[in-house]
Amino acid sequence: MPIFAVHYSYSEATVPGRDTYRPEHRAWLGDHLAAGTLLSSGPFADGSGALLVFQTADADALTALLADDPFAREKLVDHVAVLEWVPVLGAFAS
Please determine, for residue 87, whether its predicted confidence score (pLDDT) is greater than 90. yes
Parent domain of 75: 3-85
Q: Is residue 93 part of a domain?
A: no
Decide if 80 is inside a domain.
Answer: yes
Residue 56 has a pLDDT of 97
* Model pLDDT, residue 62: 98
* In a domain? residue 91: no
d(CA 60, CA 14): 27
Q: Which CATH number is 69's domain given?
A: 3.30.70.1060
Task: Read off the pLDDT of each residue in 9-21 and give the average, rounded to a whole number.
Answer: 97
Q: What is the pLDDT of residue 37?
A: 97
pLDDT value of residue 94? 79
Are 68 and 21 in contact by the 8 Å Cβ rule? The answer is no
Count of the separate structural domains present in the chain? 1
- Give the pTM: 0.94
Q: Is residue 90 part of a domain?
A: no
* 28 part of a folded domain: yes
Summarised one tens digit per residue, pLDDT across range 30-80 is 999 999 999 999 999 999 999 999 999 999 999 999 999 999 999 999 999
In this structure, the strands spanning 38-43 and 79-85 are: unpaired
pLDDT at 89 over 90: yes
